[in-house]
């Protein structure tokens, strides 16, 4: 595993020890990394893609291969940077369901970056929202995802309702061209 860049401020701990003070192999045994823009090894084949080299696959197929490679390491704490990138919605749900199964069945802690706030809220037990490189909020999705947070962090007005499927927060963006239901009802 390549070394992660040192934090600009604060500390990154693994079992109470500074990550950058540990011998390189120790974190590599514990942490599996799926970087945002990885380069998969040329010429490998996987499962249902047996006769296809990675460089012949679509972006979504390549991403699924990278996820499989990261999970095949069976690390204690997979670090996944945008694992749903390049995936259509059915494969996004499939991957996040798989990660949830891994978390629940084996107790694996999974750390991932997701920019889709609704998927993050639906699948995460704990969210950390960053703004300007600093932690802005952290906690259960219900305690973190709010119209104020979305406005402050993303500059986007929104409303947040209960997701009818998961019961977790569901963010609905309000763009310039969207009409509020209350405005329609008043006409």
User: Has residue 170 been placed in a domain?
Assistant: no
| pLDDT tops 60 at residue 144 | yes
* Percent with pLDDT over 90 in the chain: 40
Instruction: Give 75-111 pLDDT, tens digit per residue.
Output: 888 888 888 888 899 989 998 998 999 899 989 899 9
Mean pLDDT of the chain: 80
Residue 93 host element (H or E): helix 89-106
Q: Domain count of the chain?
A: 1
Per-residue confidence band for 140, with pLDDT thresholds at 50, 70 and 90: very high
Is 38 within the bounds of a domain? yes
Structure tokens at 114: 């997701």
pLDDT at 75: 80
Domain for residue 129, yes or no? no
Q: Does residue 153 belong to any structural domain of this protein?
A: no
Q: Which distant-in-sequence residues (6+ apart) come within 8 Å of 111 by Cβ?
A: 77, 78, 79, 80
Residue 169, SS3 per DSSP: strand
pLDDT for 33: 61
Banded pLDDT at 23 (limits 50, 70, 90): confident
* Residue range(s) defining the domain that contains residue 50: 1-113
Q: Which residues pair with 111 in a beta bridge?
A: 79
Is 171 strand, coil or helix? strand
Helix axes 89-106, 59-72, angle to 10 degrees: 10
Residue 7 lies in a domain: yes
Residue 157 lies in a domain: no
Q: Which residue has the higher pLDDT, 82 or 152?
A: 152
Establish if 24 belongs to a structural domain.
yes
pLDDT at 22 over 90: no
Q: What is the pTM of this model?
A: 0.67
Give me the CATH number covering residue 98. 3.40.50.300
Domain membership flag for residue 11: yes
């Amino acid at each position: 595993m390549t070394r992660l860049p040192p934090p600009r401020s604060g500390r990154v701990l693994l079992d109470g020890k500074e990550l950058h003070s540990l011998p390189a192999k120790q974190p590599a045994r514990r942490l599996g990394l799926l970087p945002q823009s990885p380069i998969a090894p040329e010429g490998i084949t996987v499962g249902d893609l047996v006769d296809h080299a990675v460089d012949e696959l679509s972006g979504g197929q390549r991403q699924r291969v990278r996820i499989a490679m990261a999970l095949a390491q069976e690390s204690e704490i997979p670090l996944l940077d945008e694992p749903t990138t390049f995936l259509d919605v059915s494969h996004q749900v499939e991957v996040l369901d798989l990660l949830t199964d891994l978390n629940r069945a084996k107790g694996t802690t999974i750390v991932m970056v997701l920019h889709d706030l609704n998927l993050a809220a639906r699948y995460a037990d704990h969210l950390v929202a960053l703004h300007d490189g600093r932690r802005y909020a952290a906690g259960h999705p219900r305690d973190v995802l709010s119209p104020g947070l979305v406005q402050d962090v993303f500059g986007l007005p929104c409303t947040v309702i209960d997701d009818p499927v998961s019961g977790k927060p569901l963010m609905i963006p309000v763009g310039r061209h969207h009409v509020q239901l209350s405005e329609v009802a008043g006409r």
